[in-house]
Amino acid sequence: MTDRTAIPDPHPLHHSMRQRRRDMSTIGLGAIAAVVLLFLYLPIVVLVIFSFNDNTVTTLPLKGFTLVWYQHLLANGEMLTAVGNSLHVASFATVLTILIGVPAAFALDRADFPGKNIFRRIVVLPLTLPGIITGISMLNLFRMLGFNLSLTTVILGHGTALVAIVVTQVYARLQRFNRRLEEASDDLGAKPWQTFFLVTLPNIRSALIGSGLLAFTLSFDEIPVTFFLTGRDNTLPMYIYSTLRRGITPEINAIGTIIVAVSLVIILMSVRLLRKDNEFDQ
Amino acid sequence: MNILEIEHLTKMFAGGVTAVNDVSFGLAEGEFVTLLGPSGCGKTTMLRMIAGFESPDRGRILLGGRDVTDDPPHRRQVNTVFQDYALFPHMNVTQNVGYGLRIAGVPRSEIATRVRESLAMVDLLDKATATPAQLSGGQRQRVALARAIIRQPKVLLLDEPLSALDVKLREAMQVELKHLHQKLGITFILVTHDQKEALVMSDRVIVVDRGRIVQSGTPAELYEHPESPYVADFIGTSNLIRATFVGNEDGHHVTAFGGKQIRAKRGIRSFEPGGGILLAIRPEKVLLAKLANATTWNHFSGTVVETLFQGNILRLKLALGGGESFVIDLPLQSPRDRIEAPDVGTEVELAVDPANVIVFASDGRP
Amino acid sequence: MRLATRRRFAWLAVLSPPLIWTLLFMIVPYTIMFAYSFFRKEGFSFIPDLQFGNYAALLLDPQYSQVLLRTLKIATMVSLAALILAYPLAYFLAFKVRWARLRLFLYMAVIVPLWVSYLLRAYTWKTILGSEGVLNSFLVWSGILSEPTHLFLYNQFAMVLTLTYIFIPFMVMPIYTALEKIPRSLIEVSGDLGVGPSHTFFRVTLPLSVPGILAGFTFTFCLAFGDFIAPALVGGPTGTMVANVVQSQFGVSFNWPLGGAISIVMLAIVLTIISISDRFERAGRLDLG
């Protein structure tokens, strides 16, 4: 039975040559892509493998499976305190970024005011600005105001450095948001705060959660700003950093692996949330 | 007392654009009024000011006798059906329709009943739990309607509600909207650029051009007695011919173009003999002379330039004696009418009743 | 009319927290740092003054100017290397992967390393490149080397490698986004008009992806420029970058005015690069109407 949908190819030989050239470029690019991806994951794989390796030095050959580093980890009171501090800082910093970032994003999306351009550039600046500058400038400020360095100053530093993440994500979402929905809500009798909570917020949820999670993760891992604003209490990265300067201990591999696992969970969570919310995209 | 009174409404936007220019009109309760005009004429801005989404720079809006100019939308007893329907994507049909009642604090059981009634009125009960993403354009539009009427507003505003639908659906919805209006008895204000839509649905049409009201009246009034060339050609089509005013003669104006004298309908305006004027003649009012039997009709000739078959009519584009382009519509009762219609290049004799020739001043003003 | 003014006041209330925050924690600190950069160091205290000695030191004293130049060089190398590695990957994802599921999965695979601690990812290179590290032990075991070498670690090579590794995902993201946005019809039209695939790439695809390249390059350059962690971990004595110099001014060297001056110069460089990149990005923006 003839296939009525097949269009006869006017240049069969030419077509297969073109196809072969296209296949070669696909294979070539695919090879490069694979190499780069392997390169990206090599250190992470090394980290995970050596966290279970029965050897104080990270060198081949592998010696044997052990959980001893994880045990040392759980007994390391200093590190556990640092983890607690990091969680404390990250939570508060994330709340700050949302409380500051969401109004900023709304103002940039909807209001017109003098200096709007400058304001936008300044708010977004910390994304590309090396953290050291944010850290040092705020250190100067606190010193001048006579504040002692503590976890609070770290929280303020993280908030400043990370608010840009929430602003850009929420702003981008707001630009795609159909403002007629808010007008409809207004039209149907809802006061502004009701419209915000019943209509606007549910529709920008994905951007809010995504950027909040990202800010949390980055705060957890933050070093440059933290370095200059830390008082007596260490965050986890600061603890690891000071340990690294002294020498490599395999417990670092263990905590690293745990961080990798937790990060994966967070990413999967946020991807699932994002996919659910994308259905609402108008 | 009118349910809605607009007084000297003016709105200017950045860049010096005056969208609405000193507009005043009143609406009686239960009227179906259409604001008709081309894109950018200001009709949507007017609607949005009535709804409360824009603030007028000057003027007042009175709803039921009360000044609502400074009231935000949620305090006005006015509801809007948006052009893109603006259904809440994170709620299903029932939640969308019941939203306004929920905000008003109506008890849940009552909301359920009234939502069912509303959905029944727009014939959408079987989609009560669907989400907007699962509905077709026409269904979404009906949800938007149900959502707006459930709060029993004093005035219902519709912003080009049918523009996104295809032709057949649009025509069906026009009739349905009219029935809905009759059933509900509330005042409707519809905004559209489609003059056919305006004629079908409205009790009264307000024609808007560049921020001003050009003419207001029933569909028949606007069609048969346009007060300006603009309205003559915007509602339906009109040929607009430049001519010279000759004089008056027992109830008719006498005009001349291309060397011929044409008698026109006598209006209230007076014109200067020898002065320039515009004649408006609708294509369907012109017949082939051989088919016209009244001797009182005007006769003039033209050469066929193009024929356009439109199914129910044959539109002929002609060039008149003086080169002016002219359009006539020939009804097609049978295929013979089409086959025997004049070919391109033939010269034809045309006839039109003087009552169907309207004279306007040459500057276009009524 | 009163409704409009009421709305404007509401916006002012919404805007004030971020405005105050930006003022207090960004504008004021930069100003203070700027003022500090003119101070003089005498003994263990900093005397308020208006002198350019700190800036002069940075630009003229080879101890500092060399570090600055080295940092610029390394930042450029890192950005270029990341670009060269990231672009094919982004292109492959955007154009050669047919199934949307697979494309999303691979894209996430590129992004995931970003979420894993930066410190750890830099640190693992230390373990890999070290004389007792994975690379050396592999080379010795396989017979390529007779004994471990110190060539891999504590030098600029290690730093460029580490930083490139860190920034590849940051480069892939904007390039992929830019490539994805290119309407396939433009590329098809090019082929339809008789232009071969490589010409199409250089004439159509590449120019349209420039905004993504610029964004990734700017981001990578600025952050690599200001990094002090990679140099500290894997850079060794020859790998000191300008951020390390600043760091020590606020630490052991205890010269806050000098540190402030260097920071201001860094800030100025970053701002310049951002505005140059913005101008190019605006010029090359794809306007599809």
Q: Please write the tens of the pLDDT for every residue from A114-139.
A: 888 889 889 989 988 999 999 999 99
Residues of chain C positioned with their CB less than 8 A from the CB of A260: 116, 120
CA distances from C66 to B212, C57, C60, C156, C245 (A): 71, 11, 9, 14, 11
Nearest residue on chain A to C198, judged by CA atoms? A25
Q: Is B56 left (phi over 0), alpha (psi -120 to 50) or beta?
A: beta
Chain B closest-CA separation from residue C50 CA (Å): 46
Name the A residues in 131-170 with CB < 8 Å from any C CB: 131-133, 136-141, 144, 156, 159-160, 163, 167
Considering the domain architecture, whether residues B122 and B259 belong to the same structural domain is answered as no
| Domain presence at residue B276 | yes
Q: Which pLDDT belongs to residue A278?
A: 58
* CA gap A57, A50 in Å, rounded: 9
| Domain presence at residue C174 | yes
| Mean per-residue pLDDT, A2-15 | 55
Model confidence band, residue A276 (pLDDT cutoffs 50, 70, 90): low
| Mean per-residue pLDDT, C186-210 | 82
Domain map (residue ranges) of chain A: 11-51, 68-278
Name the C residues in 3-22 with CB < 8 Å from any B CB: 3-4
Chain C closest-CA separation from residue A104 CA (Å): 6
Considering the domain architecture, whether residues B269 and B305 belong to the same structural domain is answered as yes
- Kindly report which listed range (A28-32, B106-110, C44-48, C98-102) carries the lowest average pLDDT score: C44-48
Q: Which pLDDT belongs to residue B46?
A: 95
Considering the domain architecture, whether residues B133 and B15 belong to the same structural domain is answered as yes
Partners of B243 in beta bridges: B277
Residues of chain A positioned with their CB less than 8 A from the CB of C22: 119, 122-123
DSSP string, B308-359: EE-SSEEEEEEEETTS-EEEEEEE-SSHHHHHTSPPTT-EEEEEE-GGGEEE
Residues of chain B positioned with their CB less than 8 A from the CB of C1: 55-57, 69-70
Chain C closest-CA separation from residue B20 CA (Å): 16
C283 contacts chain B (CB < 8 A): no
Q: Which pLDDT belongs to residue C137?
A: 77
Interface B-C: count of C-beta contacts within 8 A: 13
Considering the domain architecture, whether residues B102 and B40 belong to the same structural domain is answered as yes
Contact criterion met (CB < 8 Å) for C88 and A32: yes
Give the list of residues 6+ apart from residue B275 with CB closer than 8 angstroms, or none: B244, B245, B362
Residues of chain B positioned with their CB less than 8 A from the CB of C3: 52, 55, 69-72
Query: Which is more confident, A277 or A176?
Result: A176
Q: Which of A50, A256, A264 sits opposite C117 (nearest CB)?
A: A256
Query: Which is more confident, B25 or C119?
Result: B25
* CA gap C7, B54 in Å, rounded: 11
| Domain presence at residue C87 | yes
Residue type, B327: V
Contact criterion met (CB < 8 Å) for C86 and A39: no
Considering the domain architecture, whether residues B172 and B290 belong to the same structural domain is answered as no
pLDDT at A279 over 70: no
| Mean per-residue pLDDT, B233-262 | 82
Partners of B81 in beta bridges: B158
CATH code (residue B94): 3.40.50.300
Q: Which of B52, B57, B70 sits opposite C2 (nearest CB)?
A: B70
CA distances from A169 to A97, A207, B89, C14 (A): 12, 6, 20, 18
Q: β-pairing, B32-36 with B204-209?
A: parallel
Q: What percent of chain B has pLDDT over 70?
A: 99
Query: Which is more confident, A68 or C1?
Result: A68
Considering the domain architecture, whether residues B42 and B170 belong to the same structural domain is answered as yes
Q: Which pLDDT belongs to residue A171?
A: 93
| Domain presence at residue B366 | no
Contact criterion met (CB < 8 Å) for A128 and C121: no
Q: Which pLDDT belongs to residue C130?
A: 78
* CA gap B139, B120 in Å, rounded: 13
- Kindly report which listed range (B198-212, B251-265, C53-67) carries the lowest average pLDDT score: B251-265
| Domain presence at residue C28 | no
Model confidence band, residue C49 (pLDDT cutoffs 50, 70, 90): confident
- Enter the pTM of the model: 0.83
Complete edge-to-edge strand list for the sheet that includes strand B66-67: B17-27, B4-13, B58-63, B66-67
| Domain presence at residue C96 | yes
Partners of B20 in beta bridges: B11
Q: Which chains are within 8 Å of C by 3+ CB pairs?
A: A, B
Per-residue buried b or exposed e for A200-233, using 16+ beta carbons within 10 Å of the residue's own CB: beebbbbbbbbbbbbbbbbbbbbbbbbbbbbeeb
Residues of chain C positioned with their CB less than 8 A from the CB of B50: none
Considering the domain architecture, whether residues B61 and B168 belong to the same structural domain is answered as yes
Contact criterion met (CB < 8 Å) for B90 and A203: yes
Q: Which pLDDT belongs to residue B82?
A: 94
Nearest residue on chain C to A125, judged by CA atoms? C271
Contact A228, A153 (CB under 8 A): no
pLDDT at A65 over 80: yes
* CA gap B173, B178 in Å, rounded: 8
- Kindly report which listed range (A163-172, B141-150, C34-43) carries the lowest average pLDDT score: C34-43
B55 contacts chain C (CB < 8 A): yes
Residues of chain C positioned with their CB less than 8 A from the CB of A137: 26, 29-30, 32-33, 263
Considering the domain architecture, whether residues B269 and B179 belong to the same structural domain is answered as no
| Domain presence at residue C33 | no
Contact criterion met (CB < 8 Å) for A185 and B147: no
Considering the domain architecture, whether residues B268 and B316 belong to the same structural domain is answered as yes
Model confidence band, residue A8 (pLDDT cutoffs 50, 70, 90): low
Nearest residue on chain B to C2, judged by CA atoms? B70
Q: Which of A128, A159, A192 sits opposite C274 (nearest CB)?
A: A128
Torsions phi, psi of A30, nearest 5? -60, -40
Cis status of the peptide bond prior to A61, with omega within 30 of 0: yes
| Mean per-residue pLDDT, A250-265 | 84
Q: What percent of chain B has pLDDT over 90?
A: 56
Number of structural domains found in chain B = 2
Model confidence band, residue A9 (pLDDT cutoffs 50, 70, 90): low
| Mean per-residue pLDDT, C164-180 | 91
| Domain presence at residue B226 | yes
Distance of CA B328 to the CA centre of its chain: 22
B52 contacts chain C (CB < 8 A): yes
| Domain presence at residue B88 | yes
Contact criterion met (CB < 8 Å) for A199 and B88: yes
Q: Which pLDDT belongs to residue A282?
A: 42
Residues of chain B positioned with their CB less than 8 A from the CB of C4: 55
Residue type, B203: D
Residue B265 lies in domain: 237-361
Considering the domain architecture, whether residues B31 and B157 belong to the same structural domain is answered as yes
Which of B232, B263, B294 marks a domain boundary?
A: B232
Query: Which of A98, A133, A169, A235 has the most C C-beta neighbours within 10 Å, making it the best mutation to test the interface with C?
Result: A133
CB atoms inside a 10 Å sphere around CB B252? 19
Contact criterion met (CB < 8 Å) for A187 and B72: no
CATH code (residue B255): 2.40.50.100
Q: Which chains are within 8 Å of A by 3+ CB pairs?
A: B, C
Give the list of residues 6+ apart from residue B334 with CB closer than 8 angstroms, or none: none
Angle at A154 between CA A152 and CA A159, to 5 degrees: 95
Number of structural domains found in chain C = 1
pLDDT at B34 over 90: yes
* CA gap A184, B81 in Å, rounded: 8
* CA gap A153, B248 in Å, rounded: 93
Which of B188, B207, B232 marks a domain boundary?
A: B232
Nearest residue on chain A to C131, judged by CA atoms? A59
What is the overall mean pLDDT for chain B?
89
Considering the domain architecture, whether residues B152 and B41 belong to the same structural domain is answered as yes
Q: Which pLDDT belongs to residue A3?
A: 46
Q: Which pLDDT belongs to residue B61?
A: 95
Per-residue buried b or exposed e for C53-92, using 16+ beta carbons within 10 Å of the residue's own CB: bbbebbeeeeebeebbebbeebbebbbebbbebbbbbbbb
What is the overall mean pLDDT for chain C?
85
DSSP string, B28-51: -TT-EEEEE--TTSSHHHHHHHHH
CATH code (residue C268): 1.10.3720.10
> ipTM score here?
0.85
SS3 label, residue B105: coil
Q: What percent of chain A has pLDDT over 90?
A: 36
What is the overall mean pLDDT for chain A?
85
Chain A closest-CA separation from residue B272 CA (Å): 53
| Domain presence at residue C30 | no
Q: Which residue, B202, A35, A150, is CA-closest to C85? A: A35
- Kindly report which listed range (B106-115, B296-305, C134-143, C174-183) carries the lowest average pLDDT score: C134-143
Per-residue buried b or exposed e for C150-182, using 16+ beta carbons within 10 Å of the residue's own CB: eebbbbbbbbbbbbbbbbbbbbbbbbbbbbeeb
| Mean per-residue pLDDT, C48-58 | 84
Name the B residues in 9-68 with CB < 8 Å from any A CB: 51-53
Residues of chain A positioned with their CB less than 8 A from the CB of C85: 32, 36, 39
Contact criterion met (CB < 8 Å) for A59 and C22: no
Residues of chain C positioned with their CB less than 8 A from the CB of B52: 3
Name the B residues in 131-160 with CB < 8 Å from any A CB: 133, 147-148, 151
Model confidence band, residue C284 (pLDDT cutoffs 50, 70, 90): low
B89 contacts chain A (CB < 8 A): yes
- Kindly report which listed range (B54-68, B93-107, C142-156, C233-247) carries the lowest average pLDDT score: C142-156
Model confidence band, residue C289 (pLDDT cutoffs 50, 70, 90): very low
Q: Which residue, A231, A218, A238, is CA-closest to A164? A: A218
| Domain presence at residue C184 | yes
Domain A68-278 in CATH 1.10.3720.10: yes
| Domain presence at residue C68 | yes
Model confidence band, residue A2 (pLDDT cutoffs 50, 70, 90): very low
Which of B203, B232, B261 marks a domain boundary?
A: B232
Nearest residue on chain A to B131, judged by CA atoms? A280
Partners of B103 in beta bridges: none
pLDDT at A1 over 50: no
- Kindly report which listed range (B327-331, C185-189, C225-229, C272-276) carries the lowest average pLDDT score: C185-189
Contact criterion met (CB < 8 Å) for C3 and B69: yes
Q: Please write the tens of the pLDDT for every residue from A172-217.
A: 999 989 999 999 999 999 999 999 999 999 999 888 988 898 899 8
Q: β-pairing, B32-36 with B58-63?
A: unpaired
pLDDT at B366 over 70: no
Query: Which of B44, B47, B74, B91 has the most A C-beta neighbours within 10 Å, making it the best mutation to test the interface with A?
Result: B74
* CA gap C227, B166 in Å, rounded: 59
Considering the domain architecture, whether residues B13 and B135 belong to the same structural domain is answered as yes
| Mean per-residue pLDDT, A70-92 | 89
Model confidence band, residue B12 (pLDDT cutoffs 50, 70, 90): very high
Q: Which of C22, C132, C270 sits opposite A59 (nearest CB)?
A: C132
